[in-house]
């Protein structure tokens, strides 16, 4: 069996196209488009790439988009003051503080300061709590994008053995919560787990580790759905996933490529969260 590829780029485009109409309606109703403010601190090169790409996507959709680029030496109090200003700004529906922040800043305190109604990253404990309790709220973008991919291939997680590898607050934990809410039987693996044994019995594997080719192709259960969130830059400069793609492709029914899989979906879901936040605030 050779797996069908899940084309994240094409699906992300479809998601973005689907947002245009509602964004337009919101703009007409209240006089201004959904808007997102992105806060970047310092000169982390990857953060710069991510923020540029988020801003470009927001602009393509006709959203309001503001980048606040602050010097790495900014104090925590100054950063919190900016967040408070954005919380109070009626034009701003979504606030995204790009991580990582410089070491002298308590990232948790900054994320806590974001108004949960504007927390389009879904990282605030209020939103994470709603997700865990199966209630509506703003959901972390990468796992939300994975769920959208499963929907696209008509994979219903209900009753399926799902294995999530990784337990970070931004991917693994919210991913597990979404799958629990979708009635999957969920196992969460981390650095102390027997990953091979768990993957072998999984009908759905979501790998979010950050270790190139950790998941061996031969572990994949024939017919499984394999979602590779990992983005690992090799010595050759190429991006590779957490899953050994070629051999896994020969066993899985569906698989995501890296790049061109989960990555583009994350930004599309950020835009979707911004529209959802604008919709809720416009009421």
191 makes contact with ligand NAP (CB under 6 A):
yes
DSSP type of residue 223: T
Which residue's Cβ lies closest to ligand NAP?
Answer: 168
Residue of 6, 39, 176, 214 that binds ligand NAP (CB under 6 A): 214
- Does the annotation count 194 as an active-site position? no
β-strands 35-41, 94-97 pairing: parallel
Structure tokens at 143: 């796992």
200 binding ligand NAP? (CB under 6 A):
no
238 touches ligand NAP by CB under 6 A: no
> Taking phi first (over 0 means left), then psi (-120 to 50 degrees means alpha), and beta for anything else, what does residue 109 get?
alpha
Q: Report strand pairing: 64-70 vs 35-41.
A: parallel
Beta bridge mates, 255: 5, 226
Cis peptide before 17 (omega within 30 of 0): no
Q: Applying CB under 6 A, which of residues 105, 150, 164, 208 lies at the interface with ligand NAP? A: 208
121 flagged as catalytic: yes
| By CB under 6 A, residue 53 contacts ligand NAP | no
Q: Which residue in the set 126, 211, 239, 280 belongs to the binding site for ligand NAP (CB under 6 A)?
A: 211
Number of residues that bind ligand NAP (CB under 6 A): 26
DSSP secondary-structure letter at 242? Answer: S
- Out of 96, 165, 202, 227, point to the residue binding ligand NAP (CB under 6 A): 165
Selected from 79, 170, 178, 206, the binder of ligand NAP by CB under 6 A is: 170
- What is the strand order of the sheet 254-255 is part of? 4-5, 254-255, 225-228, 204-207, 161-165, 185-189
- Binding segment for ligand NAP among 37-45, 97-105, 243-251, 259-267 (CB under 6 A)? 259-267
State the Cα–Cα distance between residues 181 and 137, nearest whole angstrom.
Answer: 13
| Catalytic position from the list 93, 98, 118, 228 | 98
Are 227 and 206 spatial neighbours (Cβ–Cβ below 8 Å)?
A: yes
Grouping H, G, I as helix, E, B as strand and the rest as coil, residue 240 is strand
Q: Residue 27 Cβ, how far from ligand NAP at the closest point, in Å?
A: 28
Residues in contact with ligand NAP by the rule CB under 6 A: 142, 165-168, 170-172, 189-193, 195, 208-211, 214, 229-232, 262-263, 266
Catalytic residue list:
54, 98, 121
């Amino acid at each position: 069996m050779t797996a069908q590829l899940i084309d994240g780029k094409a699906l992300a485009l479809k998601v973005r196209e689907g947002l245009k109409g509602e964004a337009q309606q919101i703009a007409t109703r209240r006089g201004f488009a959904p808007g997102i403010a992105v806060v970047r601190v310092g000169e982390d090169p990857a953060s710069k790439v991510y923020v540029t790409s988020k801003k470009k996507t927001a602009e393509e959709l006709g959203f309001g988009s503001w980048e606040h680029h602050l010097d790495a030496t900014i104090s925590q109090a100054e950063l919190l003051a900016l967040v408070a200003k954005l919380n109070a700004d009626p034009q701003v529906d979504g606030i995204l503080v790009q991580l990582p922040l410089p070491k002298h800043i308590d990232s948790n305190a900054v994320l806590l300061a974001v108004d949960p109604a504007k927390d389009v990253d879904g990282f605030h404990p209020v939103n994470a709590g709603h997700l865990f309790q199966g209630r509506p709220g703003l959901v972390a973008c990468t796992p939300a994008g994975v769920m959208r991919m499963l929907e696209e291939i008509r994979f219903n997680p209900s009753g399926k053995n799902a294995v999530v590898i990784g337990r970070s607050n931004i991917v693994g934990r919210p991913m597990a919560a979404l799958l629990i809410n979708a009635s999957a039987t969920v196992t969460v693996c981390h650095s102390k787990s027997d990953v091979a044994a768990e993957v072998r019995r999984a009908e759905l594997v979501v790998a979010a580790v950050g270790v190139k080719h950790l998941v061996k192709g031969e572990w994949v259960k024939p017919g499984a759905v394999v979602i590779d969130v990992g983005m690992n830059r090799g010595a050759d400069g190429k991006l590779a996933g957490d899953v050994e793609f070629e051999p896994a492709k020969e066993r899985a029914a569906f698989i995501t490529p890296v790049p061109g899989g989960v990555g583009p979906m994350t930004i599309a879901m950020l835009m979707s969260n911004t529209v959802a936040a604008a919709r809720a605030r416009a009421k």
